[in-house]
Structure 1
Amino acid sequence: MKIIQAYKEAGKEWEYFQKKAMLKNPLVLVFGNRYLLEKSEVIDDIRKEFPYEDIVFGSTSGEIICCNVNDESISVTAIELENSSFIVKRENILDFDKNAKELGEALYEKMPKENLKHLFVLSEGSFVNGSSLINGLETNIDAKLSITGGMCGDDARFEKTLASYKENPKEGEVILIGFYGATLEVSYASFGGWIPFGPERIITKAEGNILYEIDGHPALDLYKKYLGDKSNELPQASLLYPLNVTPDGKKDPVVRTILNINNEDQSMILAGDAPVNSRVQLMMASVDGIAQGAQTAAKLAMNNRKSKPELALLVSCIGRKLVMNQRVEEEVEQVREVVGERVPMAGFYSYGEMAPFNGSTSCELHNQTMTLTLISE
C-alpha cells in the first residue's frame, strides 16, 4: 500500500506528510470544511494537485490527518492498493424521497460481491437517518461482511453537509466504498468514554429518530429541566449532554446526539433511531475520559490483528471535539500511540459514526464515539 497525504489551509500552499509522487489509480479521500468544498476554485485546485479519477469528497466538523486536527482546511489521503482493490458506488437520498433504508438496499445491490471484504460508508449527515441507512445496507448482506464509516459534518452549524464521488461535492450524497482482496485485513472498533448520570427512564413515544416522550412526559421538556440554564443554548448545548439509549431486548447501549429540537411539539430530533421501550439516560464527559475512550477504541481495533495496519481511518464526533476544545488532538495522539507512530492516519469529525460492537459484524450507528477502521494488505 502506498499512501500520499497532504493538507491545505485557505490561501496557503499544500503541505505533504510523505514525499510527493504520482500513484497508480489511487482511492483519493478528500475531507474538508463545507465552505471550502462549495468553492469551485478550491475543487479545481484539489483536482490539479491530485489528478486522479476516483476522488471521494466529504464535508466535516474538523479534519484529522497524521496526528493533527485541523479546521477550515482541506485534507487529502491518496491510497494506492497493491495487493487488493476497491470499487466506489453512490446514490442520492433525494432520489429516494429521503428513505434511507431504500437507498441502503439499492446501494448495496450495486456493489459487486465477489471477494468483497469490507464496506466503508461516507454519508450525507444533516437529514439522512443513519440507523435506517445501515438497516438498508444490511438487509441482504453476507453475515461475514463488515461495515464502518461516518456521517459528514458541518462544524457545529448543522446547516448542511456535502459529499460526492468524482463529481463536485453536493447535498444528499451517500458514498459506499468496497474493499476487495484475499490478503486484505480490516479491523475496527468504536468506543466513547462518556458517563451516564441521573435516573434511567423509558422512551414511551418515538418515530424513527424523532423522540417525543420519555416516561409519558414531553421529551424536550424533561431534557430542559436537566440542562437548567444551558437549555437556552439548545440545540448546540445538547452535544455536551447526549443520550445513552439501550433498545429493548439488547444489552449494548448506543449514544445518541440531539441534532435539533422542536419547541412546538416538545420533540427532539436525534442522529439515529431511539425505539419505543428503550431505556435512556443522560450522559456527560470529561476531557480525560474522552481521550481514554479513544485509546480503548484503538486497543480493541488492534486486538487479534495478524498484520500491522498500513492505514488508520478515524471518525470521531463533533460533540467530543467541543468538549475537548484545545485538547482535541489528545484523542488522536492516544490512537497513534496504540496503532503505531508510522501508520498514516486520516479521518474527520462527524455527525455520526458507523461500526459494529466489539466481537460483532452487525453495524450500528453511534454518536460521541471514536471509531477506527484499520486496513492492511
Structure 2
Amino acid sequence: MRVEQRKWNKKAGWKILSDLGLGSNAQLVFVFGSTDLVQDQNLFGEVRSTYPNAEIVVSSGSGEIIAGKVSQHTLNVTALHFEKTTIKTLEINLDDVKDSFDVGAHISAQIEKDGLSNLMIFSNGNKINGSHLLTGLQFNLSEAVPITGGLAGAYDPFSSTYTGLNTVGTEGKVIGIGFYGEHLKIGHSSKAGWTPFGPERFITKSTNNILFELNEEPILDFYKKYLDGLFEDMVEAIRIYPLGIKTDHGHERLLRAFLDYNPENGGALFAGDMPEGAKVRMMRSNVNSLIDAAGEAAISSMEPFEIEKPDLAICVSCVGRQFVLQDWINEEIEGVTTAFGDDMPMAGFYSYGEIAPQAPKQKSALHNHTMTITTFKELV
C-alpha cells in the first residue's frame, strides 16, 4: 500500500507533502476540508485531474488533520494505491430513503459481502441520527465486519455539513467504502478521556436523538441546578459537559455530543439516540486527559500489527473535544503522532460523530467526544 498527500490553502495554494507519482494508479482518495473548500468545483477538478481513476471520497470537518497538525480552512488530500486489495464504494442520498435506519440498511444490503473485511462510512453530520444509521448498517452485515468512519463536521456547530463520492461535497449524502481481501490488515480504536460526575439520572422524555427531560425535569433546568454560576448560558454548559449513557459493558459510557437546542419545545438535539429509560450522567474532562486518550487510541489501533507499523491512519476526532482543548488542539494530534512516529501518514478531521467498535470483538457504535482511529496495513 502506497500513500501520498498534499494540501491546499488560499494563501499558499497546493503544497506537496509526499509524492510517489501515484497519479492514474491511485484507487482511493480521501479529501477532507472546510465546508467551503469541499464544495469548490475548481479544487475538486484539480484533484480529479491528478487522480483520474480513483474513487474520491469527500467530507467536511470542523478542523482538518494532516502531517501531525490540525489546520483550518484547508483542503487535505490523501491518495492510496493498493497492491492486492480491492475497494468498492457506494453513495446513498437521504432524500431517497425513509430515515436514518433506512440509509444504513440500504448500504448494508447493496454492498458486496463476499470478502468484505471492513466498511468505512462518511456521513452527513447534521441531518442524520447516527445511532439509527449504525443499526441499519448492521442489519445486513456480519458482526465480524468492523464499521469505522465518522459524521461530517463544520466550523459552525449549527451549519450544514458536506460529503460526496466522485463529486464536490453536498448535503445529505452517506458514503460507504468496502475493503476486500485477506491482504489488508485493519486496526481500530476509540478513546474518550472523559469521566462521569454528579448524580445518575434517567431519561424520562425523549424522541430519538432529541432529549427533553431528565427525571421529569427539563434539560436546561437540570444543568442549571448543578452548573448555575459557572455558565451564563446553559446551552453552552451542555456543550462543555456532555452526557454519558450507561452501557452493558461494565463502567463504559457512550458519550453524546450536543448539537442544538430548540427553545420553542425545550428539546436538546444530540448526535445519537437518547433512549427513554436510559441512565445518564454528566461527563467532564481536561486538556491532559484528552491528549492522553488520543495517544492511547493510537497505541491501541496498532495492536493487530504487532511489531509492524501501519501504512496509514485515518483519525476522526469530535468537535466537542475542541471546546475543551481550544488552543491545545495540536497537542492532541501530537500525542497521536508520538505513538505512530513522524514518518507515518495520517489524515482526518473533527466530526459530529465517530464510528468504531467500542472494544475488540464488540459491535461498532456511534461515539461522541472521542478520538477514533482506523489503521491500515497491506501485506504484500
Q: Letter of the 2:253 partner, please give it.
A: P
Q: Letter of the 2:109 partner, please give it.
A: E
Alpha-carbon distance in 1 for matches of 2:26, 2:304: 31
Q: Does residue 32 of structure 1 match 2:33?
A: yes
Tell me which residue corresponds to 2:326: 325
SS of the residue corresponding to residue 19 of structure 2 reads coil
Tell me which residue corresponds to 2:372: 371
SS of the residue corresponding to residue 139 of structure 2 reads coil
Aligned length: 375
Choose 43-52 or 288-297, whichever is displaced more: 43-52
Whether contact under 8 Å (2:312, 2:346) holds in the other structure is yes
Alpha-carbon distance in 2 for matches of 1:41, 1:109: 34
SS of the residue corresponding to residue 13 of structure 2 reads coil
Choose 218-227 or 23-32, whichever is displaced more: 218-227
Alpha-carbon distance in 2 for matches of 1:158, 1:356: 27
Deviation at 1:35?
A: 1.6
* Distance change (3 Å), C-alpha of 1:33 and 1:237: farther
Q: What does the per-residue CA deviation read over 1:302-344, in whole Å, with 9 as the maximum and x for residues that have no partner?
A: 2243442111010001111221122111111211222333221
* Distance change (3 Å), C-alpha of 1:113 and 1:181: same
Q: Letter of the 2:363 partner, please give it.
A: S
Q: Which runs of 5+ in 2 are unaligned?
A: none
Alpha-carbon distance in 1 for matches of 2:187, 2:5: 22
Q: What does the per-residue CA deviation read over 1:34-73, in whole Å, with 9 as the maximum and x for residues that have no partner?
A: 0222333333333344444411111110000120100011
- Describe how 1:222-237 pairs up with structure 2 within 5 A: 222-228=222-228, 232-233=232-233, 235-237=235-237
Q: Letter of the 1:196 partner, please give it.
A: P
Whether contact under 8 Å (1:256, 1:272) holds in the other structure is yes
Tell me which residue corresponds to 2:100: 100
Tell me which residue corresponds to 1:173: 173
Deviation at 1:168?
A: 2.1
Q: Letter of the 2:315 partner, please give it.
A: L
Tell me which residue corresponds to 1:182: 182
Q: Letter of the 2:203 partner, please give it.
A: I
- Describe how 1:57-72 pairs up with structure 2 within 5 A: 57-72=58-73
Deviation at 1:206?
A: 1.7
Alpha-carbon distance in 2 for matches of 1:157, 1:258: 9
Deviation at 1:215?
A: 0.8
Q: Which runs of 5+ in 1 are unaligned?
A: none
Q: Does residue 339 of structure 1 match 2:340?
A: yes
Deviation at 1:180?
A: 0.9
Whether contact under 8 Å (1:300, 1:358) holds in the other structure is no
* Distance change (3 Å), C-alpha of 1:41 and 1:225: farther
Q: Does residue 155 of structure 1 match 2:155?
A: yes
Tell me which residue corresponds to 2:8: 8
Same amino acid, percent of matched pairs: 36
* Distance change (3 Å), C-alpha of 1:203 and 1:376: same
SS of the residue corresponding to residue 182 of structure 1 reads coil
SS of the residue corresponding to residue 138 of structure 1 reads helix
SS of the residue corresponding to residue 34 of structure 1 reads coil
Tell me which residue corresponds to 1:210: 210
Alpha-carbon distance in 2 for matches of 1:372, 1:330: 16
Q: Letter of the 1:258 partner, please give it.
A: F
Choose 307-316 or 13-22, whichever is displaced more: 13-22
Whether contact under 8 Å (1:122, 1:175) holds in the other structure is yes
Whether contact under 8 Å (1:235, 1:259) holds in the other structure is no
RMSD (Å) for aligned C-alpha atoms? 1.8
Tell me which residue corresponds to 1:19: 19
Alpha-carbon distance in 2 for matches of 1:198, 1:79: 46
Alpha-carbon distance in 2 for matches of 1:102, 1:70: 34
Deviation at 1:240?
A: 1.6
Deviation at 1:359?
A: 1.9
* Distance change (3 Å), C-alpha of 1:243 and 1:295: same
Give the TM-score taking structure 2 as reference length: 0.94
Q: Letter of the 1:312 partner, please give it.
A: A
Q: Does residue 116 of structure 1 match 2:122?
A: no
Alpha-carbon distance in 1 for matches of 2:238, 2:59: 24
Whether contact under 8 Å (1:321, 1:328) holds in the other structure is yes
Alpha-carbon distance in 1 for matches of 2:36, 2:298: 31
* Distance change (3 Å), C-alpha of 1:325 and 1:50: farther
Tell me which residue corresponds to 1:301: 301
Deviation at 1:231?
A: 5.3
Deviation at 1:25?
A: 3.6
* Distance change (3 Å), C-alpha of 1:201 and 1:176: same
Tell me which residue corresponds to 1:266: 266
Q: What does the per-residue CA deviation read over 1:114-153, in whole Å, with 9 as the maximum and x for residues that have no partner?
A: 1110001100000110000000000121121100110000
SS of the residue corresponding to residue 143 of structure 1 reads coil
Whether contact under 8 Å (1:33, 1:61) holds in the other structure is yes
Q: What does the per-residue CA deviation read over 1:340-359, in whole Å, with 9 as the maximum and x for residues that have no partner?
A: 33221011000000111112
* Distance change (3 Å), C-alpha of 1:13 and 1:128: same
Q: What does the per-residue CA deviation read over 1:69-94, in whole Å, with 9 as the maximum and x for residues that have no partner?
A: 00011000001111212111110112
SS of the residue corresponding to residue 276 of structure 1 reads coil
Tell me which residue corresponds to 2:82: 81
Alpha-carbon distance in 2 for matches of 1:234, 1:40: 40
Choose 257-266 or 229-238, whichever is displaced more: 229-238
* Distance change (3 Å), C-alpha of 1:110 and 1:66: same
* Distance change (3 Å), C-alpha of 1:230 and 1:39: farther
